[in-house]
Every structure is written in C-alpha cells, then in structure tokens.
Amino acid sequence: MNALAATRSAFEVTELEPVLARSVTVLGSTGSIGVSTLDVVSHARKAYGEHVMPVEAITAQGRVDDLIKQAREIKPKLAVIGDDKLYAQLKDGLAGTGIEVAAGRKAVIEAAARPSSTVMVAIMGAAALEPALAAVARSATVALANKECIVAAGGVFHKALSASTAAVIPVDSEHNAVFQVLNGEGAHEVEKVILTASGGPFRDKTLEEMAIATVEQAVAHPNWSMGAKISVDSATLMNKGLELIEAHFLFALPPEKLDVLVHPQSIVHCLVSYEDGTTLAHLSAPDMRTPIAHALAWPRRISSPSRRLDLAAVGQLNFRKPDHERFRCLGLAMEAMRVGKLAPTILNAANEIAVDAFLNRRIGFLDIPRVVETTLSESPEANTAADTLDGVLAADARARERAGEICRRVVN
C-alpha cells in the first residue's frame, strides 16, 4: 500500500471494500470516456491499494497501440480489438504478459458477457447496442456512457432490463446528474427536468458562419475534451436532443416534462423542478471523471481525480433558451421523441452517417440536419413499433443506406 493509501483510515477502506472489490470491464477503453474510466481506476488503486477494482476486460475498435499500452498498465484478464485485422499486432504486443487476446465484433460482445461486476459501455454509436445487451442479460451493473443504446433501441433495452436484475447507471454528465437528484423519486412528483447544453463552439455564431464551418472548428469544444463524433453532435445540439430521448426512457418522463437550457459554463448539469415549487440543481466542474467515479462506486462514493468546483473562480452562471432555427437538430430530435416507435432509431442512424460525411468533408456542417430531416421524411417505417432487436437493426441499416444516398445527393 502506497503513502496516499496509508493516509486513509482503516475504517474508510473497510467500509468501501465491497465497492473496491468490484471487477470492471471497459468497452471502448481507448476513447475519451474509456481513458477517463481507466484514470479513475488507476486513481482508486493509488488511493486504496493496488489490487482494488480488478479489470476483467478492455476493448477498442482500431487503436491497437493504445490498447496494448493500456493493457500493460492496467493488467486486465482480456484485451479485445474490434478490427480483426489487428489481432496479430495485439497478440505480439501483449506476448508474455499472460493477458488473453481476441479480435472481432463477436469477441467484443463476448467480453461484455464475461463475469465482471460493472461494465462501462463507452463504445460510441449503435455499435454498443449488442455488447450492452449482453451485459444486461447477465444482470451486470451497466455504466452507460452511450446515448445510442437507448435512443436507437429504447423499447428493446427496457424489455431486456425487465428480464434481468441488471442496474443501469447513466454516465453522461446530465443523466448522471438527474439520476443523483431524483434519487429514486417518482416522475409524478416532477414538474420539469431541464438538461443543460454548453451550446458548443457555434453557440454565438450566425447561420452564415455555421454554413462555412470547418471540421476543425466543429470539434473544438469550448468546455469538454471529447471524441470527434460527439463533439460534432455538441456543435449541432443533436447530442442534447439524443439526451432528451434517453432521459425520456431512463426516467420514464413524458416529453412535456423535459426541456433544454443553454448554459455556457457547463457547471450546472441539470435542474429538476418539483410540484411543491422546489428546484434542485446538480453542479460540478466539467470533468467526465466525476460521473464515471459515481457510476463505478454507486451507491457509495470514492475518491476521484476529477477537477473540483470553485464557484468564486467561475464568477457567474448564465442560462438561455436554445435557438431552434440555428440548431435544427435539437428540434428534429424532440419531434422524434414525441413520435417514438422507430423514429429515434432512424434519427440516430441518419445522424451518424451525416456526421461521418461531414468529418470526412463530403458535406457541409448545415447539411447534417438536412440529411437527418430528409431521411426521417423518406422513412415510412418511422411509425412502426420498435419492439424487437432484429426490427431495430433492420430499420437502422435501412436508415443508414438512405442517409448515405441523401449525402450523395447533397454533394451532387
């Protein structure tokens, strides 16, 4: 036990032993959430002892060098690379470590099914759906950092949850904040749940400026360090629309009880107003390690390496309503939430294709909402019930194909 751990009382460590003994699987360990998760685990080992929070498995899609480095440092039982062409490189990089290696999409799903206490779902996009369902099926605690699992397949996800004893702890800063503030209270006591949005890099830009926005400008988030896709979603405010849909499912809240405020400082993560006139807010510095630590230790709390909030240094907190004319993606998501059924699935799939096209400089920034809106209007199945995984995956595939064609139309 190191010096930092020695400063902690034996009573404190004993009280936290059940939490610290939990094993962890990190799906998407080389992305920003995955890296932060392993940072929280490393900090816990320094704070409480090097054998706490054993890691069952870590996975990545293509960053094999990063995965090898992480595996050597964190010492999981298994490391999986999603791109099976990189298997030999992973195997060579971990030779002699005793760490199991595997590759391919099926191996990622199998990693989620291995016997860890907590599965951090940090894979971005709809690719996280099947691994997340594998974790739910074995009644793991699922720390969910992926919006798309709920957005694309909320009905299927809830059906799977009802058939297991799995617990889902949201990791998105806003949903984790709502989870903490609600503290199990029923939706009937709530008048309004407000999620906050930083507004992204274009919150004060005109439509004319946004029309010529570059990829570099779109991914330059003013407050958070995130991956390219989610940074673009923040720039369009689609991320906040997806979060509304997720909150609708996670907390059984009707659309009329959900709203968004732009809050440039990213200090207040949610506001919950109750029927007695009380409004409670959740505040923390903009650092994803805070909700990650909460999710890993829930219902207890552990030491975290996250930044601490200094309100005197912040000075002021500002709020304003979002501009739906400049940020059309937010309105499209809200409408998909009201429609329900397969509309959110199609919205999410079209957005992923449009964002990818923008990041690869095939379409412009303001083409993203155009592609999403056109895909929704050309998808009659949006009004079909989303009650089976096969149905969701089929609708997702069709929407991606349509969106890709619409992107080509935009270019031509």
Q: Which fold has domain 3-171?
A: Rossmann fold (3.40.50)
User: What six digits make up the tokens of 389?
Assistant: 């995984």
pLDDT of res. 7 = 41
pLDDT, residue 3, reads 39
CATH code 3.40.50.720 region(s) in the chain = 3-171
Phi, psi (5° rounding) for residue 400?
A: -65, -40
56 φ, ψ (degrees, to nearest 5): -75, -50
Mean pLDDT of the 291-310 span? 95
* Better-scored residue on pLDDT, 2 or 94: 94
Is residue 225 pLDDT above 80, yes or no? no
Instruction: Give the residue among 384, 388, 264, 375 at the shortest CA–CA distance from 314.
Output: 264
Look at residue 126 in the predicted model and tell me its pLDDT.
79
Alpha helices in 75-204 (DSSP H): 87-93, 105-113, 129-137, 148-162, 173-182
Write down the residue that tokens 């059906």 correspond to. Answer: 159
Helices (H), 315-388: 328-339, 343-359, 367-377
Q: Which residues, 6+ apart, have CB-to-CB distance to 227 below 8 Å?
A: 31, 32, 124
pLDDT for 11 beyond 70: no
Overall fold of domain 340-412: Rna Polymerase Sigma Factor; Chain: A (1.10.1740)
Beta-sheet strand order (sheet of 268-274)? 258-262, 190-197, 268-274, 279-283
pLDDT bin (cut points 50, 70, 90) of residue 13 is: low
Instruction: State if pTM tops 0.85.
Output: yes
Q: What is the C-alpha separation between 16 and 308, in angstroms, rounded?
A: 22
pLDDT band at 412 (very low <50, low <70, confident <90, very high): low
Residue 268 dihedral angles phi and psi, to the nearest 5°:
-90, 120
Residue ranges of the chain assigned to CATH 1.10.1740.10: 340-412
Residue 24 DSSP class: E
What's the pLDDT tens digit per position in 52-103? 999 999 999 999 999 999 999 999 999 999 999 999 999 999 999 999 999 9
Q: Is 149 left (phi over 0), alpha (psi -120 to 50) or beta?
A: alpha
Q: What does the pLDDT look like over 16-53, one tens digit per residue?
A: 888 899 999 999 999 999 999 999 999 999 999 999 99
Q: Say what the pLDDT of residue 131 is.
A: 96
Taking Cα atoms as reference points, which of 344, 365, 343 lies closest to residue 355?
365
At 346-401, the pLDDT tens digits run 999 999 999 999 999 999 999 999 999 999 999 999 988 878 888 999 999 999 99
Cβ(213)–Cβ(205) below 8 Å: yes
On the 0-12 / 13-18 / 19+ scale of CB atoms within 10 A, 361 is: exposed
Average pLDDT over every residue of 108-122: 97
Q: Is 22 helix (H, G, I), strand (E, B) or coil?
A: coil
Please, are residues 91 and 79 in contact by the beta-carbon 8 Å criterion?
no
How many other β-carbons are positioned within 10 Å of the β-carbon of residue 293? 24
Residue 281's H or E segment, with its range, is: strand 279-283
Contacts 24+ apart (CB under 8 A), 394-399: 395/342, 395/345, 395/346, 395/349, 396/126, 396/152, 396/345, 396/346, 396/348, 396/349, 397/349, 399/345, 399/346, 399/349, 399/350, 399/353, 399/375
Q: Are strands 55-60 and 78-81 parallel, antiparallel or unpaired?
A: parallel
pLDDT of residue 280 exceeding 70:
yes
Contact 119, 214 (CB under 8 A): no
